[in-house]
C-alpha cells in the first residue's frame, strides 16, 4: 500500500486520509443490460498481480473520488486522476 497519494486537487497526502472502494475498471451496466452483466458488475472482481485501477475517496481531504492506478505487487502508484474525468466514469 502506498504511503502517499498524490491527489490531483490536494497534492501528496498520507494514505490515512483516503478510503479505498475497489476496482475502478468496471462500468455500471445499463439498467436493461441483463442479469449476467449486472451479476458481473456487483459481484465479480479480478484480483490482478500488477497494475490495477481502483476508486479511492479523498475522504479527509477534498472529498473527491479518484481513480488510482497502482501496482498491487510493487505498490508503485502510476497515476491518480479525478473519477469524473473523461474516460474514468464508472
Partner 1 sequence: MSSYRLPKGGRVDRAKPLDFTFDGKPMQGFAGDTLASALLANGRQLVGRSFKYHRPRGILTAGAAEPNALVTIGEGGRTEANTRATLVELYRGLTAKSQNRWPSVDFDLGAVNSLLSPFLGAGFYYKTFMWPAAFWEKVYEPIIRKAAGLGRATYQPDPDSYEKCWAHCDLLVIGAGSAGLAAALTAGRAGTRVILADEGFEPGGSLLSETAPVGGKPTADLLANIVAELTDMPNVRIFSRTTAFGWYDGNVFGAVESVQKNTATVNPNQPVERIWRIAAKQAILASGAEERPLVFGGNDIPGVMMAGAMRSYLNRQAIAPGKSTVIFTNDASGYATAADLEAVGLNIAAIVDSRQDAARTWSGKARILAGAVVVDANGGKSLKGVTVLNSGRTETIEADALGMSGGWSPIIHLACHRGAKPVWSDDKAAFLAPEKQEGLTIAGAAAGIGSVEACLADGAGKAVAALQSLGFSNATTAFAAKADTATVSKPLWRIHGSKGKAFVDYQNDVHLKDLGLAVSEGYGHVELAKRYTTNGMATDQGKLSNINAIGILAEARKVSPADVGTTTFRPFYTPLSFGALTGASKGKHFQPVRKSPLHDWAKKNGAVFVETGLWYRSSWFPKSGETTWRESVDREVLNIRKNAGICDVSTLGKIEIFGKDAAEFLNRVYCNAFLKLPVGKARYGLMLREDGMIYDDGTTSRLGETHFFMTTTTAYAAGVMNHLEFCAQALWPDLDVQFSSSTDQWAQIAVAGPKSRLILQTLVDEDISDAAFPFLGAKEVSLCGGKLTGRLFRISFSGELAYELAVPAGYGEAIADAIMEAGKPHGICPYGVEALGVMRIEKGHVTHSEINGTVIPSDLGFAKMVSTTKPDFIGKAMLSREGMTADDRLSLVGVKPLDPSTTFKTGSHILADGATPSLDNDQGYVSSSCYSPNLGSTIGLALVKHGPKRHGEHVTVWNDLKNEYTKAVLCSPVFFDPENGKLHG
Interface residues for partner 1 in 39-58 (CB under 8 A)? 41-43, 55, 57
Stretch touching Zn ion by CB under 5 A, among 8-16, 26-34, 43-51, 68-76: 8-16
Residue 61 binds which entry of Zn ion, partner 1, none, CB below 5-8 Å type-dependent:
Zn ion
| CA–CA distance, 64 with 51 (Å, rounded to integer) | 22
| CA–CA distance, 18 with 58 (Å, rounded to integer) | 5
Q: Which of 10, 19, 36, 44 forms a contact with partner 1 (CB under 8 A)? A: 19
2 touching partner 1, by CB under 8 A: yes
Say whether 11 sits in a helix, a strand or coil.
strand
60 touching partner 1, by CB under 8 A: no
Q: Of 32, 28, 30, 72, which Cα lies nearest the Cα of 52?
A: 72
Amino acid at each position: 500500500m502506498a504511503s502517499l497519494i498524490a491527489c490531483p486537487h490536494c497534492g501528496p497526502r498520507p494514505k490515512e486520509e483516503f478510503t479505498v472502494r475497489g476496482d475502478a475498471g468496471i462500468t455500471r451496466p445499463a439498467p436493461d443490460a441483463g442479469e449476467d452483466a449486472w451479476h458481473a458488475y456487483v459481484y465479480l472482481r479480478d484480483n490482478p498481480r500488477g497494475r490495477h485501477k481502483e476508486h479511492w475517496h479523498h475522504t479527509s481531504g477534498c472529498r473527491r473520488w479518484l481513480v488510482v492506478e497502482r501496482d498491487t505487487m510493487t505498490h508503485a502508484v502510476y497515476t491518480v486522476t479525478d473519477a469524473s474525468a473523461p474516460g474514468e466514469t464508472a
